[in-house]
Structure 1
Amino acid sequence: MSLSQFTGLRNTLTFSFKNVLQLNLPSLNAGIQIRERHTKHWKPEFKKLRRLKIQKVKLPNFQEENDMSKLTPDEIRSRMKEQGVLPPRPWTERPILITATGAVFEPYVPPEGDGKLSSLSFGGAKQSVELLSKKSKSMLAVRKIKSYEDNFSTKTFPETAQEIYIKAHKALAEKDYDALHQYVTELSFPIMTFDLRSCTVRWQFLKSLEAPRVVHVRCTDIINKENIFSQVTVRFHTQQTLAVYDRFGRLTYGSEVQAKDVLEYVVFEKHLANLYGQWRIHEKIIPDWMPQREPGRKTYVQPIPEVEPVPAEDTAVAATPAGTTSAVA
């Protein structure tokens, strides 16, 4: 090959290579020197589809150990990180135990004037007739209770309810909260103990003016048909003494000497589905027609009176000239 032929071949290759660079690198046409990727595709419109043409599939490794008990903690940790699994919680969820309901279902409505009207009067006879008309649901509920508790009877239960009533109030007066939990439900416990945290209570049961009796019985199920609760409303007409002292020993309510007649409708509840369930005080029904109780007397710290300072008087004696004396009135 001659020199002229070699020179022509070199010029042809240089020109063709320059054209290829100008097509793939537009910055050469603008005269700007920019470093660009040489792996960039010359037509980037469908680069997403081109990327999806090849997908990485992780094949299972049949040789690795699947029994987690045979792996070391480091191997378990690396495998969980690889699979994106969070570590287990260090605690377990606590089960929910429902031992009492949150309210009184179908509460008893006491007749107006109860405890004052005689059964021989017109009002007392009307109350007896209305009580008989409302006994149908109570009888069905009593049958439901007897299916779980064979010895239950509306004639003997008021005596049991009165014993629970007396023991609960004695435990409340003595602030024996461990014993109080056995006689009251979780609904009535904070209500009974909230206002007596810094007080001293003196309570005494004297006698029953009328025999306690069952006036209302209801049963209901919660969550499922087998989880049954029962509520029995008992009427108490008793004579009691109550005295409440504050933390300074001052009498704020009632008296230890003066007895009062108390008419109460107490709701007792039992978890029938629980084999070890007990009858406990659940709530007290206060009718609208019952007169308001006497409010308790509250004591306060007596503020110290502020004494305004008396301005001091000027007692200095004016100076007199020599040889003269001041006259005294």
Structure 2
Amino acid sequence: MANTILKRLWRPSQVLFLPSRTTTTKHYNPKYRTHRAKKYLKIDLPDMNEDESEFTQEKMRQKMKEKGILPPRPWMERPFYISATGGIFEAYVPPEGDGKASLVSPARAKQTVQLLEKKSKSMLAIRKVKTFDEDFDSKEFCIQAQNIYIKAHECLVSGDRRELRQYVTEKAYPEFRHNTRHKTIRWRFLESLEPPRVVHARCTDVVSKQNIFGQITVRFHSRQQLAVYDRFGRLLHGSEILAKDVLEYVVFEKHLSNMYGAWRVHDKIIPDWAPPKDPSRLTRLKPDPEPVPVVEEKKEQPAIADK
């Protein structure tokens, strides 16, 4: 009787399996357990209770070697790159009356003698440039310098600041862009009155003997047109109709030690004997007229006749 009752109560389909919790840390898949074991590295944790100020110099050196730390340097090194110099070294002094004196005048003969005296240093500098650029030629460089000069001014007229940096150095860039904001510039290179020529050349080293810069001064005598308008379209300087003869001494610079260096406009030499430039027509607000004082006229009263 009891067995029949137990058989009725015990049915496998009615058994409930409750979830059980275990404390095992093994992976459910025993495969790749060796690879999983290699993922964990045993490291020595630092002792946070150690006082490093009490360590000796040898003990500190040993600790730094264990951690792979380099010793600190007593100085600070900051890398910097010098792409251009800050000025002109041994600037060329233009002879007085250049471009105006005739070939047979005594002033022109004196200029020729002085040029021959200064030509020796320039020849040595050009020879130094040829050690870095074997294909350098003074005549071909004058043509290249004139193209750089024209492209730099065309970039200034069009307002292309990114391309302008390719033709002028970091020193000449702010001088080119000075006082050109909200201005309209019209510039044209008409012709060369005399072929450009190299009149001066110098080389110098900066910081180290291997870091060499070269500067070449080129004489330009050309005819140009220039007109500058303000933001309201009023003419400030020059004219788009009249052309003027321009005599300039432009300095070109190149980082000779840099294999990717290029010749760029660096500065312009203005001689002391050059005539002053014409002042620009500045736009000002017209002041209000001063008030005119009003004078009251006294009216004469008619005399009363006696009765």
TM-score clears 0.5: yes
- After superposition, the CA RMSD in angstroms is 2.7
Counterpart residue type for residue 240 of structure 1: Q
Q: Which moved more, 1:93-102 or 1:271-280?
A: 93-102
The percent of aligned pairs where both chains have the same amino acid is: 57
Counterparts in 2 of 1:1-329, with a 5 A limit?
Answer: 58=54, 67-68=66-67, 95-303=79-287
Distance in 1 between the 2:131 and 2:118 partners?
A: 22
**1:117: how far off?**
1.1
Change (3 A) 1:300 1:155: same
Distance in 2 between the 1:252 and 1:304 partners?
A: 23
**1:202: how far off?**
0.4
Counterpart residue type for residue 217 of structure 2: T
> So what's the TM-score if we normalise by structure 1?
0.66
Distance in 1 between the 2:146 and 2:270 partners?
A: 18
Could you report, residue by residue, the CA deviation over 1:173-214 in whole angstroms, capped at 9, with x for unpaired residues?
111111110000000100110211121100000000000000
Change (3 A) 1:68 1:163: same
Distance in 1 between the 2:119 and 2:63 partners?
A: 70
Stretches of structure 1 lacking an aligned partner (at least 5 in a row) = 1-56, 71-84, 86-91, 311-329
**1:263: how far off?**
0.2
Figure out how many residues of one structure are paired with residues of the other and give that number: 233
**1:121: how far off?**
2.3
Distance in 2 between the 1:263 and 1:58 partners?
A: 75
Distance in 2 between the 1:115 and 1:137 partners?
A: 24
Distance in 1 between the 2:121 and 2:55 partners?
A: 68
Distance in 2 between the 1:294 and 1:215 partners?
A: 27
Distance in 2 between the 1:247 and 1:204 partners?
A: 20
Could you report, residue by residue, the CA deviation over 1:95-124 in whole angstroms, capped at 9, with x for unpaired residues?
211000001000000000000112222221
Alignment partner of 1:145: what SS? helix
Alignment partner of 2:249: what SS? strand
Distance in 2 between the 1:59 and 1:288 partners?
A: 70
**1:300: how far off?**
1.8
**1:225: how far off?**
0.5
Alignment partner of 1:123: what SS? helix
Distance in 1 between the 2:214 and 2:198 partners?
A: 13
Change (3 A) 1:103 1:65: closer
Could you report, residue by residue, the CA deviation over 1:201-232 in whole angstroms, capped at 9, with x for unpaired residues?
00000000000000000000011100000000
Alignment partner of 2:139: what SS? coil
Counterpart residue type for residue 100 of structure 1: A
